[in-house]
Structure 1
């Protein structure tokens, strides 16, 4: 039996994007297109042209369209889906139903981008939000939308728990290579919190050290590491005691869930999907106050083995990769005509 073909559009190679590609590839033939995001108008126009050509060549032989995030890159795929009567699916990750004016962040940050995101969300056959909070966020910008919640999934086999930890201390994975991302991910708060806990080592992963040191007074107990391959990142999770996520905005935070699977005690701000990930298996700080964050980190550092097992078990119970695979295939198949 010939497998049906799905067109897979994505703006980055994040772990969760790769996971969905691998899930769909088990049951479908996948033709993928990487839309390289850019702030350049000319570059975006070229990328739109490439998407247009990709769909002209492939839409007739395809059964469905699958897009990660609603943004510039989702507009044409959804439009082609409407024209050729192909179901389209958008995974809502967080920034695509967001606008933070203070740092000009989100798909609704300018009129053209807003139009592309709104059209995509309104006209997709089904939107799959990775966290409960994103449903309400989507309704703030779009009145007519078909949306379900489907959590991203994590493999407890690949992310193992180590009881013999090397006590790295406190870590956070930020992707902070611009000032916008620094403030979005709460790195400024991490810096202020580290000053309150001078005897604790903080490790910030995936950040620009020169950017941080030129804009903030970074204390000596903070170490900054550039981007790491996922395998090395897992090793840090397995040896750390506490993971902190102090973002202004998150969907279901990937790094929080992965670190919990590896036995880290999570500490996070009460923002977006962070408290959904942490639940009662860590510490949620209601106010963006470094003193309150420091208090929670101190409590987290004193947690025992059973607390670490509880954090891991929460992710296994609620956010398993197996559940995402089952539900994702079920939802897509429900739209396909035999």
Structure 2
């Protein structure tokens, strides 16, 4: 039986995009459109190439699916409208945010914000991975000042329909190994060098200096030059999924201290492996951890130290680890995302 064709547009292939591709291939034949959009000087050439690529294929596809709003979502949205093809844009985080103080968010750049706005207006439906990408506000950065984000915060007159479809995770791969003993008073965070401040890397470094008897790991980046790094913190660099899982398995606590977080994929992976979460009270992070984690209400190192010491003193049992893992299994499995995607996206032979 011939599968319906779908035009899939993505600027990159992080693990959650690759996972969606594997799901979609069960049901659709994919025509993938991608360019290295990080090369900003080549963006006009990519736009031109993309325009003609879409023109060639648009009439043979059932619909268009775009990951992330950006320059690359503009022509898919407008050409889909012109040719009567449904266009779905999956929103992941940066495409719904503007935090100039941290140099974060596509919507802080006027031209890129305009491209996103027009893409969202012309799309058939937006598929944010969390409700917080629709609208959210918090005062995590400064107690006295609330920061508001989400596509409805930036585009309050937007009429496009949306459906929240959370990310999903392979609960068999990211699985708590009850035979692995976790290192006491150990902490892990996953972040890249450009995300160091955004995801609280500086807070973790300062905490490591204060809690000398604890062990800290930061995956995703190498040791930063020019910083005073204590002996009890290790920068692990880029890790494979298997290597990262091994660290999740042996670490007791996991940090997600982001000032903004589209979803929190690494957080969910760590929780599946039984790590007790310590997270900032932003976006959907409190919703993900439920009653199984520690919430940092403000970006305050003294408050963080107090919360961490209190949580260490409370102790961690196997039951705690099982509860943390079960929270993700029950709410954010790959099967749940697949069912929601397939129920939302059209399917006609």
User: If the TM-score is normalised by the length of the shorter chain, which range does it land in?
Assistant: over 0.9
1:182-197 equivalences under 5 Å are 182-197=196-211
Q: Partners of 2:205 and 2:28 in 1: how far apart? A: 46
Q: Partners of 2:77 and 2:310 in 1: how far apart? A: 47
- Unmatched 5+ stretches in structure 1: none
1:213-252 equivalences under 5 Å are 213-214=225-226, 216-252=227-263
Q: How far did residue 166 of structure 1 move?
A: 4.3
1:36 aligns with 2:36: yes
The TM-score, its normalising length taken from structure 2, stands at: 0.90
- Flag the 1:39–1:98 CA change in 2: closer, same or farther, 3 A: farther
- 3-state SS, counterpart of residue 88 of structure 2: strand
- 3-state SS, counterpart of residue 225 of structure 1: strand
Residue 340 of structure 2 is matched in structure 1 by 327
Residue 47 of structure 2 is matched in structure 1 by 48
Residue 57 of structure 2 is matched in structure 1 by 58
Q: Partners of 2:263 and 2:3 in 1: how far apart? A: 31
Residue 162 of structure 1 is matched in structure 2 by 177
Q: How far did residue 39 of structure 1 move?
A: 5.4
Q: Partners of 2:32 and 2:165 in 1: how far apart? A: 22
Cα deviation code 1:93-135 (max 9, x no counterpart):
1110100111221111222101111111122111111112111
1:200 aligns with 2:214: yes
* Matched length: 329
Cα deviation code 1:294-327 (max 9, x no counterpart):
3333344421111111110110111111111011
Q: How far did residue 190 of structure 1 move?
A: 1.1
RMSD: 1.6
| Residue of structure 2 aligned with 1:311, choices 324, 335, 340 | 324
- 3-state SS, counterpart of residue 255 of structure 1: helix
1:115-130 equivalences under 5 Å are 115-130=114-129
Residue 282 of structure 1 is matched in structure 2 by 293
CA contact (8 A) 2:66 2:73 kept: yes
Residue 174 of structure 1 is matched in structure 2 by 191
CA contact (8 A) 2:4 2:348 kept: no
Q: Partners of 1:43 and 1:328 in 2: how far apart? A: 33
1:138 aligns with 2:154: no
Q: Partners of 2:297 and 2:61 in 1: how far apart? A: 47
Name segments (4+ residues, structure 1) moved above 4 Å. Answer: none
CA contact (8 A) 1:252 1:276 kept: no
Cα deviation code 1:220-249 (max 9, x no counterpart):
211111111122111111111111011111
Q: Partners of 1:276 and 1:14 in 2: how far apart? A: 23
Residue 7 of structure 2 is matched in structure 1 by 7
Cα deviation code 1:128-152 (max 9, x no counterpart):
1111211111101122231121110
CA contact (8 A) 2:274 2:325 kept: yes
Q: How far did residue 35 of structure 1 move?
A: 2.9
